[in-house]
Chain A
Amino acid sequence: MSTFLQQLINGISLGAIYSLIALGYTMVYGVLKLINFAHGDVYMVGAFMGFYLANGLGARGAQALGMNPDGIVGRGLLSGGTLEPSLITALVVMLLAMAICAAIGVIIERLAYRPVRKYSRLTALITAIGVSLLLENGGQVVFGAEPKFFPELFHKRNIDLVSGASINSADIAVLIIALGLMVALQLIVYRTKTGRAMRAVSFNLQSAKLMGINTDRIIAFTFALGSALAAAAGVLVAIRIPRIDPLMGIIVGLKAFVAAVLGGIGNIPGAMLGGLLIGITETMVVGYLSPTYKDAVAFAILILILLSDLPDYSVRSLRRKSKDDQECPGICAISS
């Protein structure tokens, strides 16, 4: 029983990470009808931003930027002695990383996705693949291909629970922060004017434009939000598992996308649940069946969902959409 409980805890921790990333996917898809392949890589960039914030750019890096190598830029927030390892430090690093990645997300959207918005979705998808590859390989060149060790942002403790299972304070922190972010997202999307605008754009871009909504700005905002969440996930993951490398976003990103689909693409609470479900299922499969098929689990789930004739994903579904809904030109090859 204790093993089961432990595996459950493991699964939930893992799932929380998937949820955070899935939220970004779901939002961007809802608004742009684009599967942002590069999203998983933003998560990776977030982790690295957290790393450099904590450890600094190093003497050479600081000098390259024309700054004092012994200052914060060179030695970082943590190792430079500016901040002590603590929960607050972790939050600070995370929030800063989120801000940086939000900016990066907006830049990517502006430079790579907006120019192809007028083209078909296939083109946009390929562009997304391109951005993803760019981030991964660029990351290998800029950050270095080998994995880095993420510093300890706060001291972790093991807390023993009932019947032999134990939970790590890092896991607790991850869960609470992830939950907090998701709640915040819900508030933004459902309780603010911008959120309402986001929902309008995801319903029908043209009509939203007609209603006077600055769709470009809303789309940029959506990207910023999604990227910030991915960055948060990156830092949180690095707190739990301190090894980061430029290719860490690929598989995680794909699984998070599956989570988004599972929850219903465009559905925010669904993405959260989807992430948790995938995390738990994966952990259970690894713990009780065989770890070798771990990566296949998420895809198997995906295939099952998509094949279960759920209305939204099949080609036939588009017949039922309204005529004005010009959301799927091009490769979908179905006009309504």
Chain B
Amino acid sequence: MPRYLRNLIIALLILAVLVGLDFVFQGRLINPYYTRILMLCGISITLAVSLNLINGFTGQFSIGHAGFMAVGAYSSAYFSVNYGLNLANSLGGGKLGWIIALALATVVGAVAAGIAGLAVGIPSLRLRGDYLAIVTLGFGQIIVVFLNNIEAIGGARGYSGIPIVKSFFWIFLVAILTIVVVYNIVNSAFGRALISIREDELAAEAMGVNTTRYKVMAFVISSAMAGAGGVLLAHFDGYLNPKSFEFIKSFEILIMIILGGLGSIVGSVIGAIVLTILPEGLRGFAEYRMVIYSLLLIILMITRPQGLLGSTDAFKGLRKRMRRLTEGPSGTASSPTQSETSVGGETPR
């Protein structure tokens, strides 16, 4: 069967499943509390996988993800409140109208976040690891400061009145699209370039890879998807507050992908799910939740820095090379299992 046909069928199947599940969850067959948690998982997946593209696969340590979420969330909210509602109504107020309005809102959010990513990425991606981290953190904070001061979107009071859309279909459609996009990128020439940048930027450049351009592209795509996640958040409770997008949020997503394993899509999905459900299960220990998180992070770093799934190698040949490299300059060859050597700088080198 030709490849495109196979992909088309898979896509249609997934859509059908989503519609079916959406039906199941919309009706009150399942406890809305569980549905809510499930949908929050979907949003977390979008955010985690998009962050993994830049942190895990391209090896650029960015901790300003929440800023792009915020840009996407607020821009789409503004659109929905001021244009989307009218649009949906003018198209008959029926389901189709809403779908179009929402789709447009998502596009608006993603594009806005992508532009923000461009603005932040171009100057920042020239910087080295730790400094990139701090700069992205700084940009994230600056975005929040600005949001607190723009009256048109509520400022510190928050932005309320956003149409509330809790749609399983939409949330998981976005999530799946994110996964598909990242997967395809990783398994393409573009992805190979990114991974080569992660492994050895100098060598990559020597091989003719325009590292800055690729880094910025990955960054923009990653931010755009974060923006899409933000759109989902904005319409989830119909209320936004700049406080929700401070760096703590960036850290939460970071912990998800670290837990799951940098450079592993499946890992990010699992990390996102675990770290969305865990707080609910730990509700009795709400006080200690963050303490447990931080301990988890530290212990994880000490014992298994590559996270649950290490990183799923896209290329088998790389594994051998990694094994050779794990005998690092300090002479310690303490890599865990051979088949799971982590790519991306967590293993001893």
Given contacts A133-B293, A134-B291, A141-B291, contact A315 B305 (CB under 8 A): no
Question: Which residues on A sit within 8 Å (CB–CB) of B302?
Answer: 112, 115-116, 127
The number of chain B residues with a CB under 8 A from chain A is 56
* Complex CA distance for A326 and B330, rounded to whole angstroms: 9
* Complex CA distance for A129 and B253, rounded to whole angstroms: 13
Tell me whether A332 and B129 are in contact (CB under 8 A). Answer: yes
Question: Which residues on B sit within 8 Å (CB–CB) of A330?
Answer: 129, 345-346, 349
A3 at the interface (CB under 8 A from B): no
Tell me whether B139 and A299 are in contact (CB under 8 A). Answer: yes
From B329, which residue of chain A is reached at the shortest CB distance? A326
B282 at the interface (CB under 8 A from A): no
Tell me whether B126 and A137 are in contact (CB under 8 A). Answer: no
A-B interface pairs (CB < 8 A), number: 177
Question: Which residues on A sit within 8 Å (CB–CB) of B130?
Answer: 33-35, 121, 125
From B58, which residue of chain A is reached at the shortest CB distance? A333
Question: Which residues on B sit within 8 Å (CB–CB) of A120?
Answer: 345-347, 349
- 0/1 string, A304-327, CB within 8 A of B gives 1: 001100000111111100000010
Tell me whether A334 and B254 are in contact (CB under 8 A). Answer: no
Given contacts A296-B142, A330-B349, contact A133 B59 (CB under 8 A): no
Question: Which residues on A sit within 8 Å (CB–CB) of B345?
Answer: 120-123, 329-331, 333
Tell me whether B298 and A137 are in contact (CB under 8 A). Answer: no
B127, chain A: closest CB distance, angstroms: 6
Question: Which residues on A sit within 8 Å (CB–CB) of B332?
Answer: 118
Tell me whether B201 and A334 are in contact (CB under 8 A). Answer: yes
Tell me whether B145 and A296 are in contact (CB under 8 A). Answer: yes
Tell me whether B254 and A126 are in contact (CB under 8 A). Answer: yes
Question: Which residues on B sit within 8 Å (CB–CB) of A302?
Answer: 134-135, 138
A212, chain B: closest CB distance, angstroms: 18
A121, chain B: closest CB distance, angstroms: 6
A303 at the interface (CB under 8 A from B): yes
B38, chain A: closest CB distance, angstroms: 27
B290 at the interface (CB under 8 A from A): yes
Tell me whether B141 and A127 are in contact (CB under 8 A). Answer: no
B149 at the interface (CB under 8 A from A): yes
* Complex CA distance for A129 and B290, rounded to whole angstroms: 12
Tell me whether B294 and A123 are in contact (CB under 8 A). Answer: no
B20 at the interface (CB under 8 A from A): no
Tell me whether B291 and A137 are in contact (CB under 8 A). Answer: yes
Question: Which residues on A sit within 8 Å (CB–CB) of B329?
Answer: 206, 326, 329
Given contacts A119-B347, A302-B134, contact A318 B139 (CB under 8 A): no
Question: Which residues on A sit within 8 Å (CB–CB) of B198?
Answer: 333
Question: Which residues on B sit within 8 Å (CB–CB) of A118?
Answer: 328, 330, 332, 334, 348
* Complex CA distance for A318 and B298, rounded to whole angstroms: 29
Given contacts A296-B145, A314-B126, contact A119 B305 (CB under 8 A): yes
Tell me whether A328 and B202 are in contact (CB under 8 A). Answer: no
B288 at the interface (CB under 8 A from A): yes
* Complex CA distance for A295 and B146, rounded to whole angstroms: 11
Q: Which of A137, A295, A296, A313 contacts B131 (CB 8 A)?
A: A313
Tell me whether B298 and A131 are in contact (CB under 8 A). Answer: yes
Tell me whether A303 and B135 are in contact (CB under 8 A). Answer: yes
From A302, which residue of chain B is reached at the shortest CB distance? B138
A210, chain B: closest CB distance, angstroms: 13
Given contacts A120-B346, A130-B294, contact A328 B334 (CB under 8 A): no
Residues of chain B whose beta carbon lies under 8 Å from any beta carbon of chain A: 59, 61, 123-124, 126-131, 133-135, 137-139, 141-142, 145-146, 148-149, 197-203, 211, 251, 254, 258, 287-288, 290-291, 293-295, 297-298, 301-302, 305, 328-330, 332, 334, 344-349
Q: List 13 A-B contacts (CB under 8 A).
A: A116-B301, A119-B301, A121-B129, A122-B61, A123-B345, A129-B254, A131-B294, A133-B290, A303-B135, A306-B124, A306-B127, A328-B129, A333-B197
